[in-house]
């Protein structure tokens, strides 16, 4: 959905304004072939929301993206598959958690995304036309939406009905922003020295050194889910001011897909803050909303919140952003 304006994204403050894919299904699973086709006359599954955390790395002297985690929402009653086209990966353990009833998060993915290596996300429900999202490396070493559409059995890409929402091609995928934090995860090793293999935070998810440490080897084993879910990350309470707060999947231009609005004077949990589209008074800070039903897939302008512990009254004179909230 493309927005027709950005004035609805905030509360106004008085005084300042044919491919082979190998997939994730909680663990690594087999491959499938995708081909073209025509639309089927049946109901269409809702478009999933996505949040992908990435980090900029070097791989064979080329800039690349290392996928740290993938969260997919709007999954009520659907079958999910997350796949990557011929992607190399570090042999880390993949963990699956459910941060919300209709959301799945895969951490420890460790896919390496170069130009031409694409992530495909598909959702299906019996008797309905499925949906897919295609994600890939953008021009500025960010992960972007490359395409979206519909799927008809057996796994054919088909034309969507005109009324079905689509992800805007070329827009940034919500999540990590390596352009804002360009520190490389895997710098090239000095001549004559072996590079330290990448490790995840989980003791069970240590990388295995190889003969060529700057090039991860593809995993051939099927990882098992963690016996217990990882602890939920720390969140921060923020209260909205007068008027509803509109939420969006793309904070860079206050667009993408619109999510549920946050009612006025409502306290929600915030995961982190990020700079993006500048609202009317010049505030460029946005919050990623951790509370359900937003579930880390939607953003709201920090301008619409008190940001200082207040829960009622005018927003005039309140801070642009709560400095206690960490950057995304």
Contact 7, 246 (CB under 8 A): no
Could you state, in order of their start, the residue ranges of all structural domains in the chain? Answer: 18-231, 233-304
> Is 155 in a helix, a strand, or coil?
coil
Give the pLDDT confidence of 206-264 residue by residue, as tens digits.
444 333 334 444 544 455 555 555 566 789 999 999 989 999 998 988 888 889 999 99
What percentage of the chain carries pLDDT values higher than 70? Answer: 70
What is the model's pLDDT at position 223?
A: 52
Token pair belonging to 167: 């992800």
Tokens 């059995």 appear where? 153
Buried-state track 67-98, b at ≥16 Cβ within 10 A, e below 16: bbbbbbbbbeebebbbbbbebbbbbbbbbbbe
What is the model's pLDDT at position 55?
A: 87
Q: What is the dihedral of CA 73, 79, 85, 90, to 10 degrees?
A: 70
> Is 9 in a helix, a strand, or coil?
helix
Name the DSSP letter for residue 1: -
What is the model's pLDDT at position 215?
A: 45
State the CB neighbour count (10 A cutoff) for residue 213. Answer: 17
Token pair belonging to 69: 């985690």
> How far, in Å, are 2, 172, 174, 247 from residue 178 at the CA level?
25, 11, 12, 23
What is the model's pLDDT at position 105?
A: 92
Find the length of the chain: 328
> How far, in Å, are 54, 57, 63, 115, 180 from residue 141 at the CA level?
10, 10, 7, 9, 10
Per-residue pLDDT of the chain (328 residues; tens, 9 = 90+): 323 333 333 333 434 333 334 456 543 333 333 334 444 468 898 899 999 999 888 888 888 888 989 999 999 899 999 988 778 888 888 989 998 889 999 998 889 988 878 899 999 998 888 899 989 888 777 888 988 888 887 668 888 887 777 877 888 888 865 443 333 333 333 333 333 333 333 333 344 433 333 444 454 445 555 555 556 678 999 999 998 999 999 898 888 888 999 999 999 999 999 999 988 888 999 999 999 999 889 999 999 999 999 998 999 899 999 999 999 8
∠ Cα 196 96 116 (to 5°): 60
Contact 165, 1 (CB under 8 A): yes
Give the pLDDT confidence of 160-195 residue by residue, as tens digits.
887 777 877 888 888 865 443 333 333 333 333 333
φ, ψ of residue 173 in degrees (nearest 5) = -75, 130
φ, ψ of residue 302 in degrees (nearest 5) = -65, -15
Tokens 């915030």 appear where? 270
């Amino acid at each position: 959905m493309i927005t027709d304006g950005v004035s609805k994204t905030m509360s106004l403050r008085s005084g300042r304004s044919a491919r082979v894919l190998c997939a994730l299904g909680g663990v690594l699973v087999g491959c499938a072939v995708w081909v073209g086709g025509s639309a089927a006359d049946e109901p269409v599954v809702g478009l999933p929301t996505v949040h992908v955390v990435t980090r900029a790395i070097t791989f064979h002297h080329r800039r690349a993206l290392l996928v740290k985690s993938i969260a997919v929402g709007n999954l009520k009653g659907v079958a999910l598959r997350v796949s990557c086209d011929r992607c190399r990966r570090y042999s880390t353990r993949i963990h699956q958690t459910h941060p919300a009833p209709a959301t799945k998060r895969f951490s420890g993915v460790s896919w390496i995304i170069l130009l031409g290596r694409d992530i495909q996300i598909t959702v299906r429900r019996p008797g309905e036309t499925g949906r897919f999202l295609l994600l890939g490396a953008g021009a500025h070493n960010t992960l972007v939406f490359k395409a979206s559409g519909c799927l008809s059995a057996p796994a054919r890409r088909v034309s969507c009905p005109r009324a079905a929402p689509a992800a805007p091609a070329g827009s940034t995928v919500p999540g990590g922003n390596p352009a804002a934090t360009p520190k490389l995860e895997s710098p090239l090793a000095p001549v004559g020295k072996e590079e330290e293999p990448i490790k995840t935070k989980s003791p069970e998810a240590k990388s295995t050194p190889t003969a060529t440490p700057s090039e991860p080897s593809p995993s051939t084993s099927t990882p098992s889910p963690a016996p217990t879910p990882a602890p939920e990350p720390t969140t921060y309470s923020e209260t909205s001011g007068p008027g509803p707060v509109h939420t969006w999947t793309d904070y860079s231009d206050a667009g993408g897909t619109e999510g549920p609005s946050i009612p006025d004077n409502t306290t929600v949990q915030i995961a982190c803050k990020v700079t993006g589209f500048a609202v009317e008074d010049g505030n460029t800070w946005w919050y990623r909303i951790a509370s359900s039903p937003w579930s880390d897939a939607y953003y709201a302008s920090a301008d619409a919140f008190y940001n200082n512990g207040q829960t009622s009254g005018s927003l005039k004179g309140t801070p642009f952003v709560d400095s206690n909230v960490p950057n995304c």
